[in-house]
């Protein structure tokens, strides 16, 4: 797809995945409008879009008039969300207000202002819960382990309903753990890898909780590629896809890689899951993403070693901007 000159609306555009996507679209000549409320201790960071030419609107998707932002858009990439699992447990009403109710606001605004726009919705593997069979394909039963899983599932389903009832081209991508430059590293709110990277760059030990859980991490450039292909490929429209990444690795293996790539004095200790996290933990996960690969031609290009190495190097010179 030629993005040059196209108007594109990205919600959550100052966050981790949203900003990387905005930068890619802008570099391909798109006129990008990013909406972000800088909320919930998420990944939003003004540095993410600095000097990019992306128009950043600071506003809350629950309140702002979304119609002018949708106006003329040929694509809407919908990434704004309350993403914290513990945050959703603590305040499920705020969580559902963004992840489900505001989705309906956006659907209605887009119906009026951008009736033909393709929508790619950022969904999550979280609501499969503790999975019964690995790898996980899209037929796996949904059993959200927490309030955030319920609200994210509801939001996705409203978008698929819009496809079925009104014919809107919608693609929902159920993402696994993503990582790379612009990840929130201040704390562990956006994957364990964020705080691990901060710790090694500050020459401090980090903690691994559990250790045997498997994860199929996706490097952010591969996530961006998945979003762009989903929008550009008519065969994907109207579909829900799991998106995986690198071959599954245990948390211990990932920690060993971080230590190796960061170099001395990086080290870690293993401890049991804190009780309140253990109650909502999903155990091991890795995706069967063959449906998306077949439909779009996508495959992840960045290996774990390469991706973690690139991420650590990226933050070395920018640490202060992300703490």
Considering the complex, what minimum distance in angstroms separates the CB of residue 56 from ligand NAD?
Answer: 11
- Residue 100 or 263: the one with the smaller Cβ distance to ligand NAD is 100
DSSP code of residue 100:
I
Supply 149's token pair. Answer: 């899983």
The one among 3, 6, 8, 18 contacting ligand NAD by CB under 6 A: 18
With beta carbons less than 8 A apart as the criterion, state whether 148 and 126 touch.
yes
- Residue 50 or 272: the one with the smaller Cβ distance to ligand NAD is 50
Considering the complex, what minimum distance in angstroms separates the CB of residue 11 from ligand NAD?
Answer: 6
Instruction: Please report, as residue ranges, which positions from 242 to 281 form the binding site for ligand NAD (by CB under 6 A).
Output: none
Is 101 an interacting residue with respect to ligand NAD (CB under 6 A)? no
Which window, 14-22, 207-215, 254-262, 295-303, contacts ligand NAD (CB under 6 A)? 14-22
Antiparallel, parallel or unpaired: β 268-271 and 31-36? unpaired
The one among 10, 32, 79, 262 contacting ligand NAD by CB under 6 A: 79
Considering the complex, what minimum distance in angstroms separates the CB of residue 110 from ligand NAD?
Answer: 15
The one among 23, 37, 87, 140 contacting ligand NAD by CB under 6 A: 37
- Residue 30 or 106: the one with the smaller Cβ distance to ligand NAD is 106
Task: Spell out, one character per residue from 117 to 146, where the chain touches ligand NAD: x when CB under 6 A holds, - when not.
Answer: -----x-x----------------------
Instruction: Please report, as residue ranges, which positions from 185 to 214 form the binding site for ligand NAD (by CB under 6 A).
Output: 190-191
Which window, 23-31, 56-64, 277-285, 297-305, contacts ligand NAD (CB under 6 A)? 56-64
- Residue 65 or 272: the one with the smaller Cβ distance to ligand NAD is 65
Is 80 an interacting residue with respect to ligand NAD (CB under 6 A)? yes
Is 36 an interacting residue with respect to ligand NAD (CB under 6 A)? yes
Is 44 an interacting residue with respect to ligand NAD (CB under 6 A)? yes
Instruction: Please report, as residue ranges, which positions from 153 to 192 form the binding site for ligand NAD (by CB under 6 A).
Output: 175, 177-178, 190-191
Question: CA torsion, points 219, 223, 228, 230, in degrees to nearest 10?
Answer: 140
3-state secondary structure 126-194: HHHCCCCCCCECCCCCCCCCCHHHHHHHHHHHHHHHHHHHHCCCEEEEEECCEECCCCCCCCCCCCHHH
Q: What is the Cα–Cα distance from 176 to 126, expressed in whole angstroms? A: 8
Q: What is the Cα–Cα distance from 176 to 125, expressed in whole angstroms? A: 6
Q: What is the Cα–Cα distance from 3 to 24, expressed in whole angstroms? A: 10
56 phi/psi in degrees, rounded to 5: -95, 120
Long-range contact list for 126-134, CB < 8 A, 24+ apart?
126/85, 126/152, 126/282, 127/152, 127/153, 128/282, 128/285, 129/282, 130/282, 130/283, 131/282, 131/283, 131/284, 131/285, 134/214, 134/248, 134/284, 134/285, 134/286
The one among 82, 103, 213, 311 contacting ligand NAD by CB under 6 A: 82
Q: What is the Cα–Cα distance from 109 to 111, expressed in whole angstroms? A: 5
Residues making contact with ligand NAD (CB under 6 A):
12, 14-18, 35-40, 42-44, 60-62, 79-83, 98, 122, 124, 152, 175, 177-178, 190-191
């Amino acid at each position: 797809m030629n993005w040059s000159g196209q108007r594109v609306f990205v919600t959550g555009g100052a966050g981790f995945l949203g900003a990387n996507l905005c930068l890619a679209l802008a570099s391909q000549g798109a006129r990008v409008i990013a909406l972000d409320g800088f909320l919930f201790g998420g990944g939003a960071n003004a540095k993410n879009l600095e000097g990019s030419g992306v128009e950043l609107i600071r506003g809350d998707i629950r309140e702002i008039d979304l119609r002018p932002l949708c106006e003329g858009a040929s694509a809407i990439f919908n990434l704004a969300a309350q993403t914290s699992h513990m945050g959703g447990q603590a305040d499920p009403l705020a969580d559902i207000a963004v992840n489900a109710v505001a989705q309906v606001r956006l659907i209605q605004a887009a119906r009026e202002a951008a009736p033909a726009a393709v929508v790619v919705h950022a969904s999550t593997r979280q609501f499969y819960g503790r999975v019964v069979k690995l790898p996980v394909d899209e037929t796996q039963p949904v059993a959200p382990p927490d309030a955030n899983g319920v609200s994210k599932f509801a939001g996705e389903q409203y978008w698929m309903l819009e496809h079925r009832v009104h014919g809107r081209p919608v693609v929902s991508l159920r993402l696994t753990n993503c990582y790379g430059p612009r990840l929130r590293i201040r704390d562990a709110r956006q994957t364990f890898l964020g705080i691990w990277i901060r710790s090694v760059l500050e020459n401090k030990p980090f903690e691994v909780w559990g250790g045997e859980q498997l994860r199929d991490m996706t490097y952010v450039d591969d996530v961006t590629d998945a979003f762009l292909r989903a929008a550009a490929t008519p065969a994907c429209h109207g579909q829900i896809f799991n998106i995986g990444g690198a071959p599954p690795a245990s948390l211990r293996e990932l920690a060993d890689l971080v230590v190796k790539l960061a170099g001395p004095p990086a080290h870690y200790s293993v401890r049991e899951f804190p009780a309140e996290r253990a109650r909502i933990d999903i155990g091991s996960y890795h995706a069967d993403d063959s449906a998306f690969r077949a439909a779009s031609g996508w495959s992840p290009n960045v290996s774990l070693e390469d991706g973690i190495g690139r991420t650590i190097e990226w933050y070395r010179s920018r640490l202060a901007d992300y703490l």
